[in-house]
Amino acid sequence: MIDIHNHILPGLDDGAKTMAHSLGIIHQLFYSGFKTLIATPHVIEGRGFLSPEEILAAVEELRKHVAEEEIPVEILPGAENYIFPDLGKWAREGKLMTLGNTGKYLLLELPMLEIPQYTEQVFFDLQVQGLTPVLAHPERNKGLIDRPEYLVDWANKGVLFQMNLRSLSGRYGSQAEELAERMLRSDLIHFIGSDAHRPSQEDGVYLMGLRRGKEVAEEEGFREITVENPQAILTGEGLVGEREYFLQQPNKKKKRRFWDLFRG
């Protein structure tokens, strides 16, 4: 499997602080079944800006330590780019790192509580350059939770979506969990990501999300979002198959939590 969103490069953002933390995260992701990790530190206009050269250097350093630890995981460069009006201009000037450094897919993030008015213009600015926007964890965005119809409109215009694994275990609240499952059932999730920032204190936290994802998306859909679609990023190719997107209605069936099994 391929994880397209994580914060494993030490000391670059709010993710791993030390190389030991980085290796701890990588061990956990490897034992969860991931063989390729695209490192995506936050890139923010202003003082949070990281150049592609800085990201490439950090990836190379991490690779050396991973090899010394004999962890059979491939580390590739990427970035989680915080949206702002001139994002397309920055991409055109070569200031932004694409996923896998293939020049085809750009991971970007919206503010958590809103959808900026310039969002669709940024998507368009990227697409006219031949870049495919990949929106990080849309299920966590308050604006999209309130107005999920945007997801269908954007998907039908070529925007792709990456879901956080831990959204499926309620890590970000019930609304994010519900939208994540709804998007999965509607084939509106194209990639998954751990969004790991530090070693988890919970055993099997990623396995829990993977099992739930496989249950909701079923075998074929699960393979698409964990292997086939991410592989297209690495080769710089488009996703296989055209489709028109719809958003299924919320699942009204109450989910049985673990402790419910011991009641009645």
Q: Looking at residue 127, which CATH number applies to its domain?
A: 3.20.20.140
Q: Does residue 195 fall inside a structural domain?
A: yes
Tell which residue, 54, 58, 63, 52, has the closest CA to residue 101. 52
| Secondary structure (3-state) at 35 | coil
pTM > 0.85: yes or no: yes
* Amino acid identity, position 146: D
Burial of residue 42, with CB atoms counted within 10 A of its CB: 0-12 exposed, 13-18 middle, 19 or more buried: middle
Task: Give the count of domains, the chain.
Answer: 1
Between residues 35 and 170, which one has the greater pLDDT? Answer: 35
Domain range for 58 is 2-238
Q: Where residue 256 falls among pLDDT bands split at 50, 70, 90?
A: very low
Residue 256 resides in a domain: no
In the predicted model, is pLDDT for residue 253 greater than 80?
Answer: no
In this structure, is residue 54 part of a structural domain?
yes
Query: C-alpha 144: how far from its chain's center?
Result: 16
* Range 242-249 contact pairs with CB under 8 angstroms and sequence separation of 24 or more: 243/187, 244/156, 245/151, 245/152, 245/155, 245/156, 245/186, 245/187, 245/188, 246/152, 246/186, 247/148, 247/149, 247/151, 247/152, 247/182, 247/183, 247/186, 247/188, 248/182, 248/185, 248/186, 249/182
pLDDT (tens digit per residue) in 146-172: 999 999 999 999 999 999 999 998 888
Helix (H) or strand (E) holding 196: none
| Paired residues of 80 in beta bridges | 42
Q: Is residue 253 part of a domain?
A: no
For the segment 233-252, the average pLDDT, to the nearest whole number, is 84
Contact 73, 37 (CB under 8 A): yes
Distance between the two ends of the chain, CA-based, in angstroms? 39
Task: Evaluate whether residue 245 is within a structural domain.
Answer: no
The whole-number pLDDT of residue 49 equals: 87
Reported as a single tens digit per residue, the pLDDT across 186-242 is 999 999 999 999 998 887 889 999 999 999 999 999 999 999 999 999 999 988 767
pLDDT at 107 over 60: yes
pLDDT above 70 for 262: no
What's the mean pLDDT when you consider all of the chain?
A: 93
Reported as a pLDDT band with limits 50, 70 and 90, residue 72 is very high
